[in-house]
Amino acid sequence: MDLAYILVNIAALAAIIGLLIYMQKKHFSFSKRVFTGLGLGIVLGAILQAVYGAGSEVLSQTTEWYNIVGRGYISLLMMIVVPLVMVSIIQSIINLEKGSELGKMAGWIIGILVGTAMIAALVGIGSAAIFDLNASEIEAGQAENDRGTMLESRLGDIEDLSTPEKILSFIPSNIFLDMTQQRSTSVIAVVIFSIIIGIAVLGLRRKNPEQAEMFTKIMNSIYAVVMRIVTLVLRLTPFGILALMANTVANTDVAGIMELGKFVIASYVALAVMFIIHLVMVGVFGLNPMTYLRKVLPVLGFAFTSRSSAGTIPLNIQAQRNSLGVDSGIANMSASFGATIGQNGCAGIYPAMLAVMIAPSVGIDPFTPGFITQLVLIIGISSFGVAGVGGGATFAALIVLSSMGLPVALAGLLISIEALIDMGRTALNVNDSMLSGTLTSRIMKKLNLKTFNDKTAIEQETSL
C-alpha cells in the first residue's frame, strides 16, 4: 500500500516538472520559472506533511526519490564549482589590462565581505538584546544533548589550531585534495592557486609572449566550454528548487519551530535588517537598490532553497555578469571569495546571537563594551574559511564560542530549527557576495551601468 502512495507522490512531482517544461517551451522567463518551482514546492511539501505526517515511512521514502532531482541538481552544481572557479579566475587575471588591478580588486572584495560580516555581528547582538534571548530558557531533549556532544567533539579539532595555523590552512599544499573540496578552506585554496597561475602567465607574457599568448587562447577556449556546461546545468534550476523546497517543507519540524519561535523570529528580523543595510549600501554608491534587488532575487531564491553558498557560485557569477553588469573578473572573484569569506548570515549574525544567548549561562554580561568589541573582532577574523555548504554556520559558531571562552554544547539546543534558519542565512551570504562584486566593480569604474539599469537584462540572464 505504501508503494502506491509513493508512486502517487512521485507522479505529483513529475506533473509539476512537466508544467515547468511547458513554461520553458512557452518562453516564460527564467525568473518566473524559478519562483513557480519555489512556490509549488512549498505547496507540495505542505500537502505531503499534512497527509502523511513528518517522520512517516511514506514521506521518508518519497523524499529519497525527490532527492534524485533536488540533491542531484546540487551535486551537478558542486561538480562544476572547482573548474568554474579555477578557469574563471585564471581567465580574468590573464585578460587584465593592468596587473596592478588585481590587488585592488581582491582588497575591495575582501574588505567589503569582512566589513559587512562585522556589521552583521552588531545586528545579531542587537536582535538578541531586543528579543531577550537566553539559552537557559530552552529545554534540552535527547536530540539536543546528542547534538551538543557532537559539537564538543568537533571543537577538539578546531581548538588544536592557533590563529596563525588557521591562516596557514588557506594556503594549498595539495591542490588536488582541495579540488575535491575536502577542507572547509578548499575553495579559498583553489582561488589562491588560480591567482598564482594567473600571475605566472602575466610574468611569462613579458619574457615569452608567444607561449603566454598560446596559453591565453587555450584558457579562453576552456572558459567558453566551462561556461557552456554552467548554462546547461543552470537550466535545471527550476526543477531542483521544486524538489528541494518540497523536501524541506515536508520534513520541517513544526513543533520545534513553535517551541523556538522567538529565536526564529529574532533571526529573521536580524537577517532582514542586514538585507536592508545591503540595499542602503547599494544606494550610497549611486545605484538603484530596487533594480539591484529585482535582479538578484532569482539567485537568492535558489540560495534559500539549497542552503549552499558554494553551490550557488555558478548562478551567482552569471547574474552578476549578465544582470548586474559586473566586470567578469570581479564577478568570478567575489562569488568565489564570498562562498567562504565574510558570510554575513553564517559567520556574522548567527555566532553573535549564540554568544549573547550563551554568555549569561556562565555569568558573563554580553552587553558590556569589552565583550561586544571582542566578539565583533573575533567574528571578523574567523569569517575567513567558513565552509560554503550546509553546516558552515556550525563551524563558525564553534570558532567564535570557543574563542570567547563560552560552552559550545549549548548551541545544540537549536538543532530542530537549524534548517529553517540556515535557509535565510545562506540567502544573506550570497547577497553579500553579489554586493561585494557590484560595489567593487562600481568603485573601480568597471560596472556596466547600461546593463545594470536595463530592466530586461534579468530576462536575458541565461535564456535558461
User: How far apart are the C-alpha atoms of 117 and 425, rounded to whole Å?
Assistant: 12
Q: Is the separation of the CB atoms in 350 and 428 below 8 Å?
A: no
End-to-end CA, the chain = 39
Q: Is the separation of the CB atoms in 303 and 312 below 8 Å?
A: yes
User: How far apart are the C-alpha atoms of 262 and 273, rounded to whole Å?
Assistant: 16
Would residue 439 count as lying in a domain? Answer: yes
Would residue 115 count as lying in a domain? Answer: yes
User: How far apart are the C-alpha atoms of 149 and 94, rounded to whole Å?
Assistant: 48
Would residue 39 count as lying in a domain? Answer: yes
Would residue 315 count as lying in a domain? Answer: yes
SS3 track for 40-57: HHHHHHHHHHHHHCCCCH
Would residue 173 count as lying in a domain? Answer: yes
Would residue 41 count as lying in a domain? Answer: yes
Q: One digit per residue, pLDDT tens: the chain, 464 residues?
A: 678 888 999 999 999 999 999 998 988 887 788 889 989 998 999 899 888 887 788 888 998 999 999 889 888 888 887 888 888 888 878 877 666 678 888 899 999 999 999 999 999 999 999 998 887 655 544 444 555 455 545 555 555 556 676 667 778 888 888 888 777 667 778 888 888 998 899 888 888 989 988 998 998 899 889 888 888 888 888 999 899 888 888 887 666 566 577 888 999 999 999 999 999 999 999 999 999 999 999 899 888 887 788 778 888 988 998 999 998 889 988 988 888 788 898 889 988 998 988 888 888 888 999 999 999 998 988 777 665 444 566 777 777 877 787 877 666 666 657 777 888 999 999 999 999 999 999 999 999 999 999 877 764 444 55
Q: What is the dihedral of CA 347, 349, 355, 360, to 10 degrees?
A: 180
- Cell 556546461 maps to which residue? 229
Q: Is the separation of the CB atoms in 297 and 323 below 8 Å?
A: no
- Provide the domain count of the chain: 1
Would residue 463 count as lying in a domain? Answer: no
Q: Which domain range does residue 326 map to? A: 2-453
* Beta carbons within 10 angstroms of residue 412's beta carbon: 20
Alpha helices in 95-236 (DSSP H): 101-130, 142-159, 163-168, 175-179, 186-207, 209-234
Angstrom CA distances, 444 to 105, 300, 314, 354, 448, stand at 8, 25, 23, 37, 11
- Cell 513557480 maps to which residue? 36
Would residue 286 count as lying in a domain? Answer: yes
CATH code for position 28: 1.10.3860.10
Q: Which residues contact 358 (CB under 8 A, 6 or more apart)?
A: 135, 401, 406, 407, 410, 411
Phi and psi at residue 50, in whole multiples of 5°? -65, -40
